[in-house]
Amino acid sequence: MRFLSLFWFLSTAIPFISIAAIQDLSDPAWPASPVPINTTEAVIEAFWAPKIKAEKRWNLTPLSDIEKPAPLPTFNRRWDCVEIKWDTTQSIKGTRIERTFDLPLLDYERLVLRLNLSPDCLASLSAKIDGQWQHLETPTPGAFSAIEVVQGISGVTLQGVRIDVSSTKPGTQTARLRWLMLQKPGVPWTPPSIDFTKFVTPALASPQPGLELLFDHTELERMRNLYLSSIFDDVRAADTELAQSRMSIAPLSNLRPYLLYGRESIRLRDQQYHRDVDGLLLAIHGLLNQDEAALIQAAKHAIVLAHMDHWADGFMDRFPGSTWTHSGFAPNVGTIIASLLLDWCWDVLSPAGRELIREAIRTKGLPYLESQKLAMANQGVRFHKGLILGKIACNVLNDPKLKDVIAADLARMNRQLSPLIRTDGTFAEELGYGLSTLASTLVTYQAAAKYLEKPLIDVVNPRILNGLNFALLQQHTLSAPLAAFAAGPLQEQRMVSLCAPSSILDASGFSNREMTVFGLDWLWAPHFPAKRVSPILPRFSVHSDGGWVFAGSAQSEVPRLGFESGFWDEEGHNYKRKNALTLDADGETLLLTRHHVAYADKRHPLTSATTAFNTFAPGGRNQEPVLAKASLNQSLLPGFKTTTPRGADLLTATDLGHTVVLESDAATAWSHNVTQCQRRVLFLRPGVILIEDTALLETPETGVQTWNSLFPWEKTGPSRAFITTAKSVLELQVITPLAQPVFTKENSVHRIRKPAAIVPVHATTVTLPANTKHRVITLLTHHPIEGSPPSIKIIGNDSTSPTSLQVQQDNITWTIYFSSQELIQIDGLQTDGSWGFITSESGNPSECGVFSATQLTWHDQEIQGNGFLSISRAENP
């Protein structure tokens, strides 16, 4: 049915529609003629569409400077492109991609290739026309953001296309091909004229929400009273200034053929739909301030949205035969905006205007959301917002069966959400994705609860609160809307201190409008405290499902340590950072975890790399595990065997009081050559951290340990460096091997959200020479800028490999031994373990621990086990 509607659109909007649209999509000669997508453009290769199977029609040849045969480049199908990879270290400078055509050029004058390239790569385009090759004179330099290579052409018949991508930079290079099209002169799209007098009219009375999707008249009055009170003076002033600036923007200036969501699926000459001026701010501002002019302007934005040809990312979503799975995002955004504008602008919309918006939701939004409601990872969860809002908004006849439909949609969304938030609150995806997914559900829950006439707490997935508590632990704060949702509907009283007056369009710490709650947090919050204060975080917290451990103390001025291990889930959006550390103190991030940047952003391969996090990487490679789970189709095959979970295995997480002990092995985070990649951490409260990284490899590779901070590192010696903040100093020292130097550099970039900015990241790295065995022990010490650092004493005759280390803070002394030979001679301790420590308080032994031990005897007490063994003072006779 969808295919027929698409064909109807193309055949009616474009009178010269080609038979190619109904040709066998996997035919090696596809298309039989150019496939028009508007009056000036036609597609001749759809690399993005899996069913069209572009990779079957193209031949790959390595471009090599030497005569001997070179390894073939790889040709891989991705969900939104065809990807070519080649390795310049194997005597290949590039790749040639070539296929034959037999297409009439008609009056087309240009050939356009859309692709993404690794930095420093070049792409050139050639066309064989009427038996002669026509070449592009100037190659296009690569970037991870999308580029277009344009070739002027002339002739009668296109007989072949050749794409050359090359680089002199060593290493693995990538080209992602998206489409190949023809262009001819003309205007590809002309915006329709709109007579707003048919659709928008002055209100007859004080405007109120017409559908009550999120709040009714009484609740609006409560919101208005709060908004006009003195505690909202600053928020109201900022929102009013923003609304005034939006009033000057003509709604017609935002009229486009598509409701564009991303950048990958549009032409470079396309103008993107500006969702920050979509009318929502004017609508909610108009209701709260009883400003009819703002509501009328917002209603015009709604009419413009309804007049768009498609709520889609671009032609890729509506191309015959395309099954692009990203197609739900733009219809979802369009449906959300249209539904809320219909509700809030109800009293300034004429009956014709209301029906126009409803018809747009019914035809341009809901059908595409229904087909994508089971989409992978967090997508299906997000699409339910549009589904639920849109269905309620279009319920003109008050269908009594719709409540059952909404309840079923909500239940399905909750089932999809559960795998993304584990029982311990950790997210199956990176925190940014997990938190934004969670935040995107708040309006969905509000609308569903109101329509079903149920308390919010009765419709919310119970894991939501666990996820909010975990996010608080990881980032030490929550945005005001999330805190209000937890403190109010979910009855988490300790979150009340984080509630605060927030903007109408506060997006829960994200720029994406999809996470905005439009002032609902004012209704949710039990009250607004005089000062926003973060709750006291636990001294020690283990989240075994996700492999996260947090350790600190009750004092905010001392460091809080975060340690991430855990296995990969099948869901995407996980960064390559198993066994990574984060460190915070005095409200500042000392060792950071990166925030998300878009896949197409040229910074993404750098910010998502393993070396972008504070961990150890054999060969400096990225963690790339084999998928932990098989697909449903694979699991149904005869003889299927369950695959082993991969990632990092949290072996030990113990709080002994003065000492926190962590141990994890991330060997399976790498797809090959790694037998062991173990990290052991001793957190000596309050400000010393000892880290041992060991690796066993099948063949020799280097070992790279990286420490990333927003603060510049300064070297104080061959194996020492430090960073200085406004309040404290963090020092880094390689303990063994002492002869191994550290290097400092500016490493990639980092996105911060409030205020939005791009800032440099500074890295200190330790690189061990290639070997099959690696061991590096690193000491981090933190102290106030005016205070004295802890006393550190390195013990041992071998200058390159100490036998023990003594650390003293206040009246606590830690003695750490790096070999079992030393351990069996100290304080009556006997063990077969590899290394361990004894803690003394005022000269009295209080804690003892040994790694990789099977037997430990201390003060006539014996413990047998496997791995880390410990005896605390309370257990000691």
**Residue 58 banded pLDDT, cuts 50, 70, 90:** very high
**Residue 511 banded pLDDT, cuts 50, 70, 90:** very low
Q: What's this model's pTM, rounded to 2 decimal places?
A: 0.88
Given a cut of 60, is residue 754 above it in pLDDT?
Answer: no
For the segment 222-262, what is each residue's pLDDT rounded down to a tens digit? Answer: 999 999 999 999 999 999 998 999 999 999 998 988 887 76
Give dist(CA 574, CA 592) in Å, integer. Answer: 16
| Residue 364: DSSP 8-state | I
Given a cut of 80, is residue 571 above it in pLDDT?
Answer: no
Give dist(CA 282, CA 553) in Å, integer. Answer: 46
> Looking at per-residue confidence, does 386 or 825 come out higher?
386
Query: What pLDDT sits at residue 2?
Result: 34
Which of 93, 262, 116 shows the shortest CA–CA distance to 176?
Answer: 116
**Residue 523 banded pLDDT, cuts 50, 70, 90:** very high
Given a cut of 60, is residue 876 above it in pLDDT?
Answer: no
Give dist(CA 840, CA 826) in Å, integer. Answer: 13
Query: What pLDDT sits at residue 875?
Result: 45
Query: What pLDDT sits at residue 720?
Result: 94
Range with the poorest average pLDDT among 268-282, 341-355, 486-500, 533-547: 268-282
**Residue 1 banded pLDDT, cuts 50, 70, 90:** very low
Query: What pLDDT sits at residue 8?
Result: 33
Residues constituting the chain: 877
- In contact, 341 and 294? CB cutoff 8 Å: no
- In contact, 147 and 117? CB cutoff 8 Å: yes
The per-type count for the chain, helices as H runs and strands as E runs, is 20, 36
Which of 497, 687, 472 shows the shortest CA–CA distance to 586?
Answer: 687
**Distances in whole angstroms, Cα of residue 790 to Cα of each of 346, 687, 816:** 66, 8, 15
Phi and psi dihedrals of 360, rounded to 5?
A: -65, -40
**Residue 325 banded pLDDT, cuts 50, 70, 90:** low
Residues near 330 by Cβ (< 8 Å), separated by ≥ 6?
Answer: 258, 259, 260, 261, 311, 312, 313, 317
> Looking at per-residue confidence, does 639 or 849 come out higher?
849
Burial track 348-374 (b if 16+ CB lie within 10 A, e otherwise): bbbeebbebbbebbeebbbebbbbbbe
The letter for the amino acid at 388 is I
Query: What pLDDT sits at residue 646?
Result: 83
Helix (H, G, I), strand (E, B) or coil at 152: strand
Burial of 672 (0-12, 13-18, 19+ CB in 10 A): exposed
Query: What pLDDT sits at residue 285?
Result: 95
In the predicted model, what is the mean pLDDT of residues 717-734?
A: 94
| Residue 462: DSSP 8-state | T
Residues near 355 by Cβ (< 8 Å), separated by ≥ 6?
Answer: none
Which of 341, 396, 112 shows the shortest CA–CA distance to 207?
Answer: 341
Query: What pLDDT sits at residue 821?
Result: 72
Given a cut of 80, is residue 673 above it in pLDDT?
Answer: yes
Burial track 836-850 (b if 16+ CB lie within 10 A, e otherwise): bbbbbeeeebbbbbb
What mean pLDDT, rounded, does the chain reach? 86
Give dist(CA 329, CA 612) in Å, integer. Answer: 29
Query: What pLDDT sits at residue 67?
Result: 59
Q: Given 3-state DSSP classes, what are the helix, strand and coil percentages for the chain, each rounded to the nearest 5?
A: 30, 30, 40
Range with the poorest average pLDDT among 437-451, 505-519, 576-590: 505-519
User: To the nearest whole percent, how much of the chain has pLDDT over 90?
Assistant: 53
Residue entry with tokens 């733009």? 330
Phi and psi dihedrals of 540, rounded to 5?
A: -150, 130
Give dist(CA 873, CA 877) in Å, integer. Answer: 8
Range with the poorest average pLDDT among 533-537, 678-682, 718-722, 797-801: 797-801
In the predicted model, what is the mean pLDDT of residues 644-666?
A: 91
One DSSP character per residue, 325-347 reads GGGGHHHHHHHHHHHHHHHHTGG
Query: What pLDDT sits at residue 582?
Result: 94
- In contact, 490 and 464? CB cutoff 8 Å: yes
| Residue 255: DSSP 8-state | -
Within 167-310, where are the H helices? 217-227, 233-247, 280-289, 292-307
Query: What pLDDT sits at residue 629?
Result: 46
First vs last Cα of the chain: how many Å apart?
Answer: 79
Give the rounded distance of the alpha carbon of 614 from its chain centre.
Answer: 18
Phi and psi dihedrals of 458, rounded to 5?
A: -80, -15
- In contact, 552 and 749? CB cutoff 8 Å: no
| Maximal C-alpha separation, the chain | 96
Q: Count the neighbouring beta carbons within 10 Å of the beta carbon of residue 77.
A: 12
Record the tokens describing residue 764, joined without a space: 């200190």
- In contact, 593 and 431? CB cutoff 8 Å: yes
